[in-house]
Amino acid sequence: MNALTYVESGRFALLEKPKPELRSPRDAIVRVTLSSICTSDLHIKHGSVPRAVPGITVGHEMVGVVEAVGDQVSTVRPGDRVTVNVETFCGSCFFCRHGYVNNCTDPDGGWALGCRIDGGQAEYVRVPYADQGLNKIPDSVSDEQALFVGDILATGFWAARISDITPEDTVLILGAGPTGICTLLCVLLKNPKTVLVCEKDPARAAFVREHYPQVLVCPPEDCKAFTLAHSDHGGADVVLEVAGGADTFRLAWECARPNAVVTVVALYDQPQILPLPQMYGKNLTFKTGGVDGCDCAEILSLIQQGKLDTTPLITHHFPLSQIMEAYRIFENRLDGVVKIAITP
Ligand SMILES: [Zn+2]
Ligand SMILES: [Zn+2]
């Protein structure tokens, strides 16, 4: 089968590999029907994910059809359409039992697929702990509707869940990339009074204005004044930082009102400064990533009910045979790209 492979730092290549096989009674083999490219894949390509293993098949956003299951898999059967979770987790350790699946203590726990073990920018993928890693897609939900459930939509859902949003709140989201927009959609489910989005890229700001007209959008240079003007208590009640820029962590806490919640979803390239003397008395609560991806069944149900729709994010389609061209467009943000759907 064809599989996009992390050859060495700076280089991916579409290689011919053997089809994966079951290795454990808790594994499943999934025939990939649609996958996508994530910014994290670019981080692997650029060598900035040290734990990524050269030679692995990349890709951790995918949906497909179960082809085979091990003896101990009970929640899915061959023929089921499924979402695949970006995180591998055992379901039984201390962290899994508390819903903190990102910190599963299993050796394969956490982000393994498409990083430390073979992922899904390929025709088939082996999914360990399939009872935890796969969720059945309802018949009325399409592959495109379900494509982001296991990764960026799980992240947005988790971020909104832990941010304690109430209907009285002004919520500020920094960053309107694909994960920022998924976060926005999940924040809107909480019905806060006002939602503000800060985005520096005019094309992405325009995307938010076009698709979500109830949301107020501003550029970073206006963000503090804009937030002050649209909030009741001297800043946002909740800030979700999804931008990960050089100055956006600082912007996040500066735009927060006293006693606000600041949820940091972003992954930074550089260490950030937490200037406690300047913050003294502001009494902020910080919550930090990464995603505990254990809400996929609930997310699929919300999609089925028509309450969540990420299909506008899919701006481009490519066959797997042309995935290198898809990467060129995604990496260079050409042609108004938000997300690309890849068909094997
Ligand atoms: Zn990702
Ligand atoms: Zn675990």
Query: What is the arithmetic mean of pLDDT over 211-223?
Result: 97
Looking at the structure, tell me whether residues 117 and 9 fall in a common domain: yes
* Domain C-terminal end among 288, 312, 331: 288
Query: What is the arithmetic mean of pLDDT over 168-181?
Result: 98
Angle subtended at Cα 265 by Cα 264 and Cα 268, rounded to the nearest 5 degrees: 85
| CATH code, domain carrying 182 | 3.40.50.720
Looking at the structure, tell me whether residues 184 and 116 fall in a common domain: no
Given pLDDT bands bounded at 50, 70 and 90, which one contains residue 275?
A: very high
Give me the phi and psi of 14, to 5 degrees please: -85, 110
Residue 335 has pLDDT above 90, yes or no: yes
- Ligand 2 midpoint to CA 100 (Å): 8
Residue 65 has pLDDT above 90, yes or no: yes
Query: What is the arithmetic mean of pLDDT over 283-305?
Result: 95
Which ligand places an atom closest to the C-alpha of 132? Answer: 2
Looking at the structure, tell me whether residues 145 and 160 fall in a common domain: no
* Domain C-terminal end among 256, 273, 288: 288
Looking at the structure, tell me whether residues 137 and 31 fall in a common domain: yes
Residues 6+ apart with CB under 8 A from 181: 156, 207, 208, 310, 313, 338
State residue 182's pLDDT score.
98
Listed in sequence order, the DSSP H helices in 127-201 are 130-133, 143-146, 152-162, 178-188
Q: What CA–CA distance (Å, rounded) separates 75 from 135?
A: 8
* Domain C-terminal end among 271, 288, 305: 288
Looking at the structure, tell me whether residues 11 and 137 fall in a common domain: yes
Looking at the structure, tell me whether residues 16 and 105 fall in a common domain: yes
Task: Read off the pLDDT of residues 225-261 as tens digits, 9 standing for 90 and up.
Answer: 999 999 999 999 999 999 999 999 999 999 999 999 9
Looking at the structure, tell me whether residues 114 and 169 fall in a common domain: no
Residue that is written with structure tokens 């734990």 in the block: 51
Whole-angstrom CA distances from 13 to 30, 96, 212 are 22, 35, 37
Query: What is the arithmetic mean of pLDDT over 173-192?
Result: 98
- Ligand 2 midpoint to CA 96 (Å): 4
- Ligand 2 midpoint to CA 103 (Å): 7
Domain tally, the chain: 2
Q: What percent of the chain has pLDDT over 90?
A: 97
Looking at the structure, tell me whether residues 117 and 6 fall in a common domain: yes
* Structural domain that includes position 312: 2-150+293-343
Residue 48 has pLDDT above 90, yes or no: no
Residue 269 has pLDDT above 90, yes or no: no
The answer to whether the CB of 64 falls within 8 A of the CB of 320 is no
Looking at the structure, tell me whether residues 58 and 110 fall in a common domain: yes
- Ligand 2 midpoint to CA 269 (Å): 28
Looking at the structure, tell me whether residues 72 and 6 fall in a common domain: yes
Q: What CA–CA distance (Å, rounded) separates 155 from 270?
A: 21
Looking at the structure, tell me whether residues 158 and 201 fall in a common domain: yes
Predicted TM-score (pTM) of the model is: 0.96
- Ligand 2 midpoint to CA 280 (Å): 37
Closest CA to 249 of 219, 225, 226, 270: 270
Residue that is written with structure tokens 């009640």 in the block: 237
| CATH code, domain carrying 50 | 3.90.180.10
- Ligand 2 midpoint to CA 108 (Å): 9
Looking at the structure, tell me whether residues 215 and 82 fall in a common domain: no
pLDDT, averaged across the chain: 96
